[in-house]
Structure 1
Amino acid sequence: MKTIVICSGGLDSVSLAHIIAARGELSRLVSFDYGQRHRKELDYAAACAKRLDVPHHVIDMRPVGAALTGSALTEDIDVPDGHYAEETMKITVVPNRNAIMLTIAYGIATANGDQAVATAVHGGDHFIYPDCRPEFTTAFDRMQRAALDGYADVTLLTPFVHRSKADIVTEGARAGTPFAETWSCYKGGANHCGRCGTCVERREAFHLAGIDDPTVYEDPDFWREAIASKAEA
C-alpha cells in the first residue's frame, strides 16, 4: 500500500518512515513549515527523505501558523521545562495543527495516487493534544472518506495511537532508525536541551525501551527529576 508519511524530523515520525520503508510501502514524506520556533527539525526530515530515497514535500504554512496564536511553538513565549503530563505543557498546543496537516497530506496523497496517509501520533500525546487522540483520528478518517467519496480511497494509518513512545523506540530500532538523526527538542539549540517536555519524554522512552539513547542533551539528568515531580503531583 503506497503510503505518504507526515514527517516532522522527530523521533516518532522518522521511525514511522523507516518502519513503512522497511515494508516497501513508503512513497513520499511531507513536512510543514508553520512558523515553528526553529527549522532545525525540517532539516532532519529532509535528511530522512534523502536516506530513504523518496520525494519530500515541504509545505509553507507560515501565514497559517501566524494566525494560530498563543502557542510557545509559534510565538516568543518560553517553552516550559518538565514532563508532558504537567498542565503547563498546554502552552505548546498549536490549535488544529494536526487537522490542517492531515487535510493537506490527504490532498497530496490523492494527487499522487497514494493509498494511505500515516502519522506517528501516539498514546503519550493524548493528554495535551486533542488532535492526537483516537477519537479525533477515527473521526478524521471518516470525514476524509466522505470528502473523497467516489474519487479516491485513502486510508489513515495511526499505528501508534494506542501505544507509547517507548514502543516507537522499540519498533524504530527494529527497522534500523538512526535515532541520532532525529530532532525532538522544542528549543532548537546546538544540542537537545534535556529539559523541555519532548526531551524528557524522549529520554524516558529510551530508558523504558531498554535501548541506548544516542542523543546529546545539555542537561542529561533532568528527566529523572521531571518524572519524579510528575509522580508526586
Structure 2
Amino acid sequence: MKTIVICSGGLDSVSLAYKVAAENTLTRLVSFDYGQRHAKEIDYAARAAQALNVPHTVIDMRNIGATLTGSALTDDIDVPDGHYAEETMRITVVPNRNAIMLTIAFGIAAANQDDAVATAVHGGDHFIYPDCRPAFTESFNAMQKAALDGYADVTLYTPFVHGSKADIVTAGAAVNTPFADTWSCYKGGENHCGRCGTCVERREAFDLAGVTDPTVYDDPDYWKQAIAERGNA
C-alpha cells in the first residue's frame, strides 16, 4: 500500500513514518508550516525523510495559520506547564488544524496515485483535540471517499488512534525509530523544556513503555511532579 505520512517531526509522526516504511511502501513525508511558534520540528521531519530516503514536501500554510488565532502555538501566548490532560492545555488547540492538513494531504495522495494518508493521532490527544478522536477520523475518511469518488481511492490510516503515547514508543522502538532525532517541545528552545504538556507526556510515555528516553530536557524531573499534581486534582 503506497502511503504518505503527515510528519511534524515529533515522536509520534516519525515513529509512524518508520512503521509505514517497515510494513508498507512509504512514498513521501508531508509537513505543514502554519506559522507555529517555531519551525524547528520541520527540520526533524526533513531528517526523517532523508534517513528514510523519501521526498519531503513542506506546505506553506502561514497565511491560513495567521487567521486561526487564539492558540499558544500560533500567537504570543505562553505555553502552559503541566500534563497534557490538564484543562489549561486547551490553549494549544489550533482550530480545525488536522482537518485542513488532512484535506491537503488527501489531495496530494490522489494526485500521486497513493493509496493511503497516515497520521499519528492517538488516544492521549482525545481529551484536548477533537480532531484527533476516532469520531473525527472515521467521519473524515468517509467524507474523503465521497470527495474523491470516481477519481481516486485513498484511505486514512490511523494505527495509533485507540492507543496511548506509550504504545507509540513501543511501536517506534520495534522499527528502530531514532527517537533522539524527533522534536516534541512546544517551546522550541535549544533542548526540550521538560515542562510543557508535550514534554511531560513524552517523558511519561518512555517510562511507561520501559524504553530508554534519549531526549535532553532542561527540567528532566518535572514530569513526575506534573503527573502527581494531576493525580491529586
Relative to the length of structure 1, the TM-score reads 0.99
Q: What does residue 216 of structure 2 align with?
A: 216
Amino acid at match of 1:116: A
Give the distance between the partners of 2:139 and 2:20, measured in 1 at CA.
Answer: 23
Give the distance between the partners of 2:195 and 2:111, measured in 1 at CA.
Answer: 41
Q: How does 1:136-155 map to 2 (within 5 A)?
A: 136-155=136-155
Give the distance between the partners of 1:48 and 1:224, measured in 2 at CA.
Answer: 30
Deviation at 1:25, TM superposition (A): 1.4
Q: What does residue 203 of structure 2 align with?
A: 203
Amino acid at match of 1:91: I
Aligned-residue identity in percent: 79
Q: How does 1:99-110 map to 2 (within 5 A)?
A: 99-110=99-110
| 1:120-168 Cα shifts (integer Å, max 9, x gaps) | 0000000000000000000000000000001100000000000000000
Give the distance between the partners of 2:22 and 2:134, measured in 1 at CA.
Answer: 25
Q: What does residue 226 of structure 2 align with?
A: 226
Give the distance between the partners of 2:105 and 2:55, measured in 1 at CA.
Answer: 13
| 1:57-94 Cα shifts (integer Å, max 9, x gaps) | 10000000000000000010000000011110000000
Amino acid at match of 2:192: H
Q: What does residue 88 of structure 1 align with?
A: 88
Q: What does residue 43 of structure 1 align with?
A: 43
Q: What does residue 9 of structure 1 align with?
A: 9
Deviation at 1:24, TM superposition (A): 4.0
Q: Which runs of 5+ in 2 are unaligned?
A: none
Contact 2:35 2:62 in 1 (8 A): yes
SS of corresponding position for 2:89: helix
Which 4+ stretches in 1 moved above 6 angstroms?
A: none
Q: What does residue 164 of structure 1 align with?
A: 164
Q: How does 1:130-141 map to 2 (within 5 A)?
A: 130-141=130-141
Contact 2:82 2:200 in 1 (8 A): yes
Q: Which runs of 5+ in 1 are unaligned?
A: none
Q: What does residue 77 of structure 1 align with?
A: 77
Amino acid at match of 1:190: E
Give the distance between the partners of 1:49 and 1:178, measured in 2 at CA.
Answer: 12
SS of corresponding position for 1:100: helix
Give the distance between the partners of 2:85 and 2:51, measured in 1 at CA.
Answer: 34
The two structures, once aligned, show a CA RMSD in angstroms of: 0.4
| 1:163-210 Cα shifts (integer Å, max 9, x gaps) | 000000000001010000000000000000000000000000000000
Matched, 1:30 2:30: yes
Deviation at 1:23, TM superposition (A): 1.8
| 1:30-75 Cα shifts (integer Å, max 9, x gaps) | 0000000001000000010000000111000000000000000001
Matched, 1:67 2:67: yes
SS of corresponding position for 1:195: coil
